[in-house]
Amino acid sequence: MCTQHSKRSLIATVLGNRCPRCREGRLFSDRNPYNLSRTMRMPEHCPVCGQGFELQTGFYFGTGYVSYFLSVIFILVTCAVWYLTIGFGFTDNRLYWYLGLTAAFLFATQPIQQRLCRSIWIACFVRYQPCHVETAER
């Protein structure tokens, strides 16, 4: 019987960009999401458990839906907070400040959001298997 379990929860695994199968291996080759030439570079397999990261050709096209959903949620939440704290007025520039700051924030955090969406997407399709650790060299 297997007694080996990861100490990471599913949320910590997704936010930490870890392999969803073993919750240990890194999904991305470079830790820095702002290294723009290598932001989305991923190894073919998990270095810990051997799980393939590209399940099929074009697998990560679905991350566009996740990205859209997260952006809409962010915009709705910030719009509600802005409305309740500052308010919107059509006689001044508050609406334009909100739109500009929101767009700037979403643009500035795009590399982080891309990685998060890939991590969420693969976690939807690959289940946690705590005892499936391969030591095969790839």
The tens digit of pLDDT for each residue in 86-137 reads 988 778 889 899 999 999 999 999 999 999 999 999 999 999 887 765 544 4
What are 18's strand-pairing partners?
26
Q: Pull the structure tokens for residue 31.
A: 């830790």
Give the whole-angstrom CA distance, residue 51 versus residue 80.
Answer: 41
Amino acid (one-letter) located at 21? R
- pLDDT the model gives residue 132: 61
**How far is Cα 61 from Cα 128, in angstroms, rounded to an integer?**
22
DSSP 45: B
Parse the chain into domains and list their residue ranges: 10-125
Q: Are 28 and 41 in contact (CB under 8 A)?
A: yes
State pTM to two decimals.
0.82
